């Protein structure tokens, strides 16, 4: 931990040692595997699948942009559809971050809880928290579950990165999991499932007990630090108690309707490099490590996402 | 998530429904179980086992105190001994927080990396990252592993809260685990294990691949928000690049040598209430939840710690 920058340089160096130097067999670190992945292993994220949230600038006047990748079929498409309508209606403009609870969530929406919602939002059933493996919705079926990463079995059952997302599963269903940076839909008591107008992101250890109990609709792929480093709220559950504590939300737009939006891509969870990356996350053998764990939970194998490299 | 404050009130209400109302059987939330635990289920933390770190006040002039509970025998006592010496020598006074990497760690120590260490620090071997079950050090043996919480099996093997700490284990050894808020010892490349002068705390998803690869020496029990909400560093690995970005550390003292230190206690991991709490964390059945997870990873069953109630 002390001088990771130097370590990275050492590891990069070691990875280039020629194969005939058998005595010093070394292994690349996960970051090196990502950096070495070929261009065709990366998948472009459509601008229309981005949600771009501009917060008020920080105290130094620096802009704060948060980019969310919306969840793709077959997951949570009812709520995602609502979110598209809310963004088109500019509903979030003038709302705020209302709650920051340490080791849990940062939540945003209308502090007054009185702002009228746009017409036409769907009421989504609890059954949509997960997807049947047998139900071929959104073009996906069990046959397309071709992740190169092995399934891991843990305290929360089976999991595997699939189609670019962290996914839990049992014999009959699959569902997205509550990892760091994932975005979910606030709701009241069941059977309410929330509209999507009130959203949160995970800023601590994965609260996996929320899986299949709340809808997940995406993940933050850039600007997460603007959400995770906010002062914690001092009210119950981390709600801010005073108006001036809330960071205002200037605007939320879909990626193809926002200004100056970068292009993003993720490392395919069906690629050979992803397999090597997942294995390296589970079995760290780069020079810093002496005891590989032999496994990794789904939230410790985050799907790599980056700005598209200019060519 | 939307109105947890109201939900808590509802849950508290439901928990008081008399037993004859069988149709509406309800379950207390984990926080309610903790609140209802009896006084004798709480264990006092000795002031000498606290490390009190006072950071420079925030921009509004508000004090920032971070209280760390040092790890107790049989774990990491070589490094903990060094930390006691460093605190006694006031070594950290005038040092700073040097690194904040999102979803990973906040790290503190000497930014110059040139400050002389006090005499007499131990060089601790890598073998001390874990403890043999057969080796009865520090008064603990396998026979005293009497947690009321069941062992959980996950991606990182077996784990169980023990003696007030999150503990991993295999057939022969036990070791503390890298959960949110745990404090560890920065080091360079193995076989260096670090002195304890450079410390970090986990501010994101548990980096369990560090277990048995770095020494853990304690956990933050109060003031965690002062570490987790800091601006992320913009240098490699989250190191701050400019002097003025680093929050100065005013002083670090052992609890019995610091001013105005609160008294703390933790819920015994051998108590009946802890068993109920661990079960509730793994099987949320309070009114908000519809799908209990059926398990919880060790970092999702944090040992409750609080200021001692005045009598």
Compute CA A166 distance to the chain's CA centroid, rounded to the nearest angstrom: 8
Distance from CA of A263 to the nearest CA of B (A): 21
* Residue A16, pLDDT score: 34
SS3 (DSSP) at A148: coil
Does B2 contact A198 at a Cβ distance shorter than 8 Å? yes
- pLDDT value, residue B264: 98
Q: Could you tell me the two tokens for B149? A: 């919480």
Alpha-carbon gap, residue B288 to A189, rounded angstroms: 5
A12 near A35, Cβ under 8 Å?
no
What's the ipTM? 0.92
Residues of chain A with Cβ-Cβ distance to B212 below 8 Å are 290-291
> Does residue B272 contact residue B134 with C-beta atoms inside 8 Å?
no
Q: What is the 3-state secondary structure (H, E, C) of chain A?
A: CCCHHHHHHHHHHHHCCCCCCHHHCCCCCHHHHHHHCCHHHEEEECHHHEEEEEECCCCCCCCEEEEEEECCCCCCHHHHHHHHHHHHCCCCCCCEEEEEECCCEEEEECCCCCCCCCCCCCCCCHHHHCEECCCCHHHCCHHHCCCCCCCEEECCEEEEEECCEEEEECCCEEEECCCCCEEEECCCCCCCCCCCCCEEEECCCCCHHHCCCCCEEEEEEECHHHHHCCCCCCCHHHECCCHHHCCEEEEEEEHHHCCCCCCEEEECCCCHHHHHHHHHHHCCCCCCCCCCCCCCCHHHCCCCEEECCCC
Q: All domains of chain A, ordered by start, with CATH? A: 46-134+143-271 (2.40.100.10)
Residue A9 pLDDT greater than 50, yes or no: no
Of A200, A236, A293, the CB nearest to B5: A236
The pLDDT value given to residue B3: 41
Please give chain B's pLDDT, 311 residues, in tens: 454 333 333 333 333 333 343 445 678 999 999 999 999 999 999 999 999 999 999 999 999 999 999 999 999 999 999 999 999 999 999 999 999 999 999 999 999 999 999 999 999 999 999 999 886 566 677 677 889 999 999 999 999 999 999 999 999 999 999 999 999 999 999 999 999 999 999 999 999 999 999 999 999 999 999 999 999 999 999 999 999 999 999 999 999 999 999 999 999 999 999 999 999 999 998 889 999 999 999 999 999 999 998 65
At A179, is the secondary structure helix, strand, or coil?
Answer: coil
Nearest-Cα distance to chain B for A158, in Å, is 10
Q: What is the C-alpha to C-alpha distance for residues B13 and B9, in angstroms, rounded to an integer?
A: 6
The answer to whether the Cβ–Cβ distance between A300 and B154 falls below 8 Å is no
Q: CA B226, B232, B238 angle in degrees (round to 5)?
A: 120
| pLDDT of A31 over the 50 cut | yes
Nearest-Cα residue of chain B relative to residue A3? B188
Alpha carbon of residue B10 to chain centroid: 30
Supply A81's token pair.
């559809």
The predicted structure's pLDDT at residue B279: 96
CA distances from A15 to A26, A166, A288 (A): 6, 29, 13
Residues 6+ apart with CB under 8 A from A4: A288, B236, B237
B46-81: pLDDT as tens digits: 999 999 999 999 999 999 999 999 999 999 999 999
User: For chains A and B, what is the number of CB pairs under 8 angstroms?
Assistant: 210
* A199 backbone dihedrals φ, ψ, rounded to 5°: -120, 160
Which residue bears the tokens 């240098």? B235
CB-CB neighbors (< 8 A) of A225 in chain B: 102, 231-232
Chain B residues with CB-CB distance to A198 below 8 A: 1-2
pLDDT at A139: 67
Q: Residue range A98-124: average pLDDT?
A: 97
Q: Which two tokens stand for residue B169?
A: 């284990």
**Rounded Cα–Cα distance for residues A154 and B282 (Å):** 13
Closest Cβ–Cβ partner in B7, B296, B299 for A209: B296
pLDDT at A15 over 60: no
* CA–CA separation, A82 and A85 (whole Å): 5
Instruction: Tell me which residue of A257, A201, A277 sits closest to A46, measured CA to CA.
Output: A257
Tokens of A69: 């990748």
End-to-end C-alpha distance for chain A, whole angstroms: 34
Containing H/E element for B86?
A: helix B77-88
pLDDT at A137: 66
Using an 8 Å CB-CB cutoff, list chain B residues near A100.
Answer: 229
Euclidean distance between the first and the last CA atom of chain B, given in angstroms as a whole number: 34
B94 vs B140: CA distance, rounded Å? 37
From chain A, the residues in CB contact with B154 under 8 A are 153-155, 295, 297
Contact B239, A5 (CB under 8 A): yes
Q: What is the distance in angstroms between the Cα of A281 and the nearest Cα belonging to chain B?
A: 8
Number of Cβ within 10 Å of residue B311's Cβ equals 4
What pLDDT is stored for residue A98 in this prediction? 98
pLDDT for A210-227, tens place per residue?
999 999 999 999 999 999
**Pairwise CA distance, residues B122 & B48, whole Å:** 20
Q: Which of A131-145, A192-206, A253-267 has the lowest mean pLDDT?
A: A131-145
pLDDT of residue B13: 33
């Amino acid at each position: 931990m002390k001088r990771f920058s130097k370590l990275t340089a050492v590891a990069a160096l070691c990875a280039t040692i020629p194969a005939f130097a058998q005595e010093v067999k070394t292994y690349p670190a996960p970051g090196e595997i990502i950096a070495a992945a070929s261009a065709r292993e990366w998948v472009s994220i459509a601008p229309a699948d981005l949600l771009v949230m501009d917060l008020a600038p920080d105290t130094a006047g620096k802009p704060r942009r948060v980019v969310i990748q919306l969840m793709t079929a077959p997951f949570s498409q009812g709520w995602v559809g609502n979110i598209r309508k809310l963004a088109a209606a500019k509903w979030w403009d003038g709302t705020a971050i209302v709650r920051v609870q340490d080791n849990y969530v940062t939540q945003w929406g209308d502090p007054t809880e009185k702002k009228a919602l746009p017409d036409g939002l769907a009421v989504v059933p609890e059954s949509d928290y997960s997807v049947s493996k047998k139900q071929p919705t959104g073009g996906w079926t069990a046959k397309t579950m071709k992740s190169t990463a092995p399934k891991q079995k843990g305290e929360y059952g089976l999991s595997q990165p699939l189609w670019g997302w962290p996914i839990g599963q049992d014999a009959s269903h699959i569902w997205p999991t509550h990892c760091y940076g994932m975005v979910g839909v606030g709701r009241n008591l069941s059977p309410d499932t929330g509209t999507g107008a009130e959203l949160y992101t995970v800023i601590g250890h994965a609260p996996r007990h929320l899986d299949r109990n709340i809808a997940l609709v995406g993940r933050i792929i850039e600007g997460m630090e603007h959400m995770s480093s906010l002062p914690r709220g001092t009210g119950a559950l981390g709600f801010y108690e005073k108006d001036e504590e809330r960071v205002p939300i200037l605007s939320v737009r879909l990626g193809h309707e926002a200004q100056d939006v970068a292009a993003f891509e993720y490392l395919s969870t069906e690629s050979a490099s992803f397999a090597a990356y997942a294995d390296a996350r589970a079995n760290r053998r780069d020079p810093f490590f002496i005891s590989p764990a032999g496994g990794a939970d789904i939230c410790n194998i985050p799907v790599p996402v980056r700005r598209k490299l200019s060519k």
